Amino acid sequence: MKIDRRQFAGYSSAIAAWGCVSGVGQSNFNSQQPLFIATWKFGLPACIRSLETLGKTESVLDAIEMGIRVAEADPNVDSVGIGGAPNANGVVQLDACIMDGATHRAGSVAALENFPHPISVARRVMEKTKHVLLVGAGAADFATEQGFESQVLLTEMQKRKWQDWKTQQAKATGPRAELAVPTNHNTPTNHDTIALVGIDSTGNIAGGCSTSGLAYKLPGRVGDSPILGSGLYVDGAVGAAGATGIGENVMRHCGSFLIVELMRSGMDPTAACREAIERIANTDKKKPADLHINFLAIDKKGRWGAAGTDAGYEIAVVTPEFARLEKPFLVI
Ligand code: SD4
């Protein structure tokens, strides 16, 4: 894609002028312009970085990677990268994936320890190996070989919260896994996984997802986020979808793949996200509100949409003309 540099400078200042405006729902979009959307409030600076990166390198994959790195680098985003929530043993294990719609190339890492930017390691898996997914110590060895620098990811704040959880845990009964559910849904902060998908002005689509996973998960547990088709799926001929929420409720249904297939059959992005949630709820015989699953999607036409079961769920939408947070369709 080609963005005139002066025009791009104009785009950036337009975004600065718009700031964050609350909006509702999805809409049609001029497919001649790039578009990035991401989960949660912290998706906004990430998507802005994506748009800026696209203006510089003209690569939608670069845009996805650099956008997600913004959330990974922020210690106040407490479920992604540095400052992410640890597992039951107090160790931060990160999951991420990246996927290119045109080629279906993809890379993932899971249960990666001590590397703050799993999205970049995932991209290296895609570009430098014949594999798609590396996990645990193998993923960490690969990251070291590739020159990524390791660092301590557990912040003092997260350590204190984990210690409090351990104290409560000692008093509780029942299987540990039952207690390993996020405590942050429906809270004002709603810090969760970042799923970020985007399209450039020539219709190239890509996406990525990055998370520390469910707080206090069993060590070695991997959720939906690095699993292609679950936490993320991109098909250049159709669109892209991503997820946040309780991964087990997404990955048993290949949630993101399902949404892309629903869009292929003609649904718009919001309708596809709603249908996926309703189908999962029906199959599981549960109320949607009990599932804690939230989706977003874009299609090849440049339309975007989202639906979720958590009242606090919001998405960031960034184009050269505006940058804002939107309230997705709530399915309860
Ligand atoms: C997971 N889906 O590991 C991720 C985490 C998340 O709300 O989004 N939590 O299950």
pLDDT digits (tens, 9 = 90+) for 37-65: 999 999 999 999 999 999 999 999 999 99
* Mean pLDDT within 138-143: 98
Q: Is residue 224 in contact with ligand 1, taking CB distance under 6 Å?
A: yes
Q: pLDDT at position 175, please?
A: 55
User: Atom 5, ligand 1: which residue's CA is nearest?
Assistant: 213
| Per-residue pLDDT band at 211 (split at 50, 70, 90) | very high
| Per-residue pLDDT band at 172 (split at 50, 70, 90) | confident
Q: pLDDT at residue 95 above 90?
A: yes
Cα–Cα distance between 85 and 247 in angstroms, integer? 15
Question: Is there a catalytic annotation at residue 193?
Answer: yes
Q: Is residue 226 in contact with ligand 1, taking CB distance under 6 Å?
A: no
Shortest-distance atom of ligand 1 to CA 184: 7
Q: Give the distance (Å) from ligand 1 centre to CA of residue 177.
A: 14
pLDDT digits (tens, 9 = 90+) for 120-134: 999 999 999 999 999
Catalytic residue among 155, 193, 309, 319: 193
User: Atom 7, ligand 1: which residue's CA is nearest?
Assistant: 245
Task: Tell me the two tokens of residue 83.
Answer: 């400052």
CA 183 to chain centre: 18
pLDDT digits (tens, 9 = 90+) for 254-303: 999 999 999 999 999 999 999 999 999 999 999 999 999 999 999 999 99
Q: Give the distance (Å) from ligand 1 centre to CA of residue 22.
A: 25
| Per-residue pLDDT band at 140 (split at 50, 70, 90) | very high
Q: Is residue 43 in contact with ligand 1, taking CB distance under 6 Å?
A: no
Task: Tell me the two tokens of residue 88.
Answer: 């039951």
10 Å CB burial of residue 330 (0-12, 13-18, 19+) is middle
pLDDT digits (tens, 9 = 90+) for 234-253: 999 999 999 999 999 999 99
* Mean pLDDT within 100-112: 98
Q: Is residue 182 in contact with ligand 1, taking CB distance under 6 Å?
A: yes
Local structure of residue 225 (DSSP, 8 states): T
pLDDT digits (tens, 9 = 90+) for 186-196: 444 445 899 99
Cα–Cα distance between 198 and 204 in angstroms, integer? 8
The answer to whether residues 20 and 40 touch, using CB atoms and an 8 Å cutoff, is no
The answer to whether residues 268 and 26 touch, using CB atoms and an 8 Å cutoff, is yes
- Of residues 31 and 70, more confidence is placed in 70
Shortest-distance atom of ligand 1 to CA 95: 3
Annotate 257-313 with DSSP letters as a single string: HHHHHHHHTT--HHHHHHHHHHHHHHHHTS-GGGT-EEEEEEETTS-EEEEES-TT-
Spatial CA neighbour of 45 closest among 96, 80, 2 = 80
Element (H, E) at 162: helix 156-171
Q: Give the distance (Å) from ligand 1 centre to CA of residue 212.
A: 8
**Average of per-residue pLDDT values in the chain:** 89
